[in-house]
Chain A
Amino acid sequence: MPDRNLSERAEEILAGIWQRRESEEEHPAPADRAGEAPEEAVGELEEKGLVRETSGQLSLTDEGEKEAAAIVRRERLAERLLVDVLNVGKGVATETACKFEHLLRRGIDDEICTLLGHPKVCPHGSPIPPGECCRAGAQEASRVVSALADLLPGQEGVIAYIRGRRRETVQRMMALGAVPGTPIRLLQKSPSYVFQIEQSHVAVDREIARDIYVRLRGRSTVAPPPPTSWLPRPFWGKRHRRGRGRR
Chain B
Amino acid sequence: MGALDFARGLLARARGCHCDTCPLAAPSKSRRLVLFGSPNVGKSVIFNQLTGVYAVVSNYPGTTVEVARGEARIGDVLLEIVDSPGAYSLAPLSEDERVARDLLADDPPDMVLHVIDAKNLRRALPLTFQLLEAGIPVAVNLNVIDEAERAGLSVDTDRLSADLGVPVVATAAVSGVGMDGLRALVAGEIPVPSDYRVDYPEWIESAIAEIAELLRGDYGLAPRAVALLLLQRDPGTWERVRRANAEAASDIERVVSDAEAQYSHPLAYPIALARRQAAEGAANGAVRGSSRAVKPGFGESVGRLAMHPVAGMLMLAAVLYVGLYLFVGKLGAGVMVDFLEHQVFARYVTPASTHIVERLLPWPTWSKLFVGEYGLITLGLRYAIAIVLPLVGAFFLTFAVLEDSGYLPRLALLVDRFFKRIGLSGRAVIPIVLGLGCDTMATLVTRVLETRRERVIATLLLALAIPCSAQLGVILGLLSRHPLGLAIWGVVILGVFFLSGALAARLLPGETPRFYLEIPPMRWPSLRNVATKTFARLRWYAAEVIPLFLVASIVIWIGELTRLFQLALTVLRPAVNALGLPDAAADAFLFGFFRRDYGAARIFDLARPSEVMSGVPLVVAMVTITLFVPCIAQFLVMIRERGWRTALAVAGLILPFAFGVGFLLNVILLSIGVQI
Contacts A199-B119, A200-B119, A203-B515; A170 near B266 (Cβ below 8 A): yes
Which of A162, A194, A197 touches B307 (beta carbons < 8 Å)? A194
Number of contacts between A and B (CB, 8 Å)?
147
Q: Does the CB pair A177–B123 fall under 8 Å?
A: yes
Contact B515 A192 (CB under 8 A): yes
A208 and B464 CA atoms in complex are apart in Å by: 31
Docked pose: A197 CA to B38 CA in angstroms: 15
* Complex interface: chain A residues within 8 A of B305 (CB): 231
Q: Is the CB of B120 within 8 A of A198?
A: yes
Can you list, as one digit per residue, whether each of A151-166 has a CB less than 8 Å from chain B (1) or not (0)?
Answer: 0000000000010111
Query: Besides the contacts A199-B148, A205-B515, what 8 more A-B pairs have beta carbons closer than 8 Å?
Result: A170-B269, A177-B123, A180-B273, A191-B312, A191-B417, A199-B151, A203-B409, A228-B308
Q: Does A19 contact B (CB under 8 A)?
A: no
Q: Are A199 and B516 in contact (CB under 8 A)?
A: no
Residues of chain B within 8 A (CB-CB) of A188 are: 307-308
Question: Measured between C-beta atoms, what is the minimum distance from B153 to chain A in Å?
Answer: 8
B 116-165 contacts with A by CB, 8 A? 117, 119-123, 126, 147-148, 151, 153
The answer on a CB contact under 8 Å between B266 and A199 is no
Contact of B266 among A166, A200, A237 (CB under 8 A): A166
Pairs A-B, 3 closest by C-beta atoms: A175-B88, A199-B119, A234-B309
Q: How far is the CA of A169 from the CA of B310 in the complex (A)?
A: 30
- Report A148 CB to chain B, min CB distance, Å: 12
Are A231 and B310 interface neighbours, CB within 8 A? yes
B416 within 8 A of A: yes
CB contacts (< 8 Å) of B450 on chain A: these are 168
In the complex the two chains form, is B310's CB within 8 Å of A171's CB? no
B413 lies within 8 A of chain A by Cβ: yes
Q: Is the CB of A177 within 8 A of B89?
A: no
Bound: A116/B168 CA distance, A = 45
Nearest-CB residue, chain A, relative to B412: A203
A203 proximity list for chain B (CB < 8 A) = 307, 409, 412-413, 416, 426, 515-519
CB distance from B41 to the nearest CB of A (A): 10
B276→A182 contact, CB < 8 A: yes
- B414 at interface by CB-CB < 8 Å: yes
* Complex contact A171–B91 (CB within 8 A): yes
B233 within 8 A of A: yes
A115 contacts the other chain (Cβ, under 8 Å)? no
- Is B670 an interface position by the 8 A CB rule? no
Determine whether A58 belongs to the interface, using a CB cutoff of 8 Å to chain B: no
Residues of A in contact with B, size category: 35 or more
Chain A residue nearest to B416 (CB atoms) is: A192
Known: A179-B276, A188-B307, A197-B123. A171 touches B93 (CB 8 A): yes
Chain B CB count within 10 A is highest, among A174, A180, A197, for A174
* Chain A 54-68 near chain B by CB (<8 Å), digits 1 or 0: 000000000000000
Answer whether residue B626 sits at the interface, using C-beta atoms and an 8 A cutoff: no
Q: Considering the complex, which residues of chain B in the window 513-540 have a beta carbon less than 8 Å from any beta carbon of chain A? A: 514-521
B305 → chain A, closest Cβ, in Å? 8
B93 & A172 in contact (Cβ 8 Å cutoff)? yes
Q: Are A232 and B310 in contact (CB under 8 A)?
A: yes
Residue of B nearest to A205 (CB): B515
Say yes or no: A200-B276 contact (C-beta < 8 A), given A192-B417, A205-B416, A231-B310: no
A133 on the interface (CB 8 Å rule)?
no
Instruction: Indicate whether A171 sits within 8 Å of B518 (C-beta atoms), given known contacts A182-B122, A205-B425.
Output: no
CB distance from B99 to the nearest CB of A (A): 16
Residue of A with least CB distance to B265: A170
C-alpha gap A228/B272 in the complex (Å): 34
Q: Which residues of A contact B520 (CB under 8 A)?
A: 201
| Pairwise interchain contact A171-B516, C-beta atoms closer than 8 A | no
Q: Is the CB of B414 within 8 A of A191?
A: yes
- B194 at interface by CB-CB < 8 Å: no
Binding site for A on B (CB under 8 A): 88-89, 91, 93, 117, 119-123, 126, 147-148, 151, 153, 232-233, 264-266, 268-269, 272-273, 276-277, 280, 291, 304-305, 307-312, 409, 412-417, 420, 425-426, 450, 512, 514-521
Instruction: List 16 A–B pairs whose Cβ atoms lie within 8 Å, in order of A's numbering.
Output: A167-B266, A172-B93, A172-B516, A181-B280, A188-B308, A190-B309, A194-B519, A198-B122, A200-B518, A201-B521, A203-B519, A205-B417, A205-B425, A208-B516, A232-B310, A234-B309
Chain A contacts for B119, CB-based, 8 A: 198-200
B416 shortest CB reach to chain A, Å: 5
Q: Which residues of B are found within 8 Å of A181, using beta-carbon distances?
A: 273, 276-277, 280
Q: Which residue of B lies closest to A236 (CB)?
A: B309
CB distance from B544 to the nearest CB of A (A): 35
Residues in A with CB closer than 8 Å to B413 are 191-192, 194, 203
Within the assembled complex, what's the spacing in Å between the Cα atoms of A174 and B273?
9
Contacts of B91 in A (CB 8 A): 171
**A202 close to B269 (CB less than 8 A):** no
- What's the nearest-Cβ distance from chain B to residue A76, in Å? 21
User: Any chain B CB within 8 A of the CB of A176?
Assistant: yes
B517 cross-chain contacts in A, Cβ below 8 A = 202-204
Indicate if the CB atoms of A198 and B291 lie closer than 8 Å. Answer: yes
Question: B232 contacts which of A167, A177, A199, A205 (Cβ < 8 Å)?
Answer: A167
B265 touching A164 by the CB < 8 A rule?
A: yes
Contact across chains for A234 and B276 when beta carbons are under 8 A apart = no
Cα-based distance from A167 to B91 in the complex (angstroms): 11
Q: CB-CB contacts of A198-230 with B at 8 A, as 1s and 0s? A: 111111110110000000000000000001100
Bound state CA distance, A191 and B266, in angstroms?
A: 30
Which residue of A166, A171, A194, A205 is within 8 Å of B89 (Cβ)? Answer: A171
Is A86 among interface residues, defined by CB-CB distance under 8 A? yes
With the chains together, A205 CA to B148 CA distance in Å? 28
Residues of B within 8 A of A231 (CB): 305, 308, 310-311
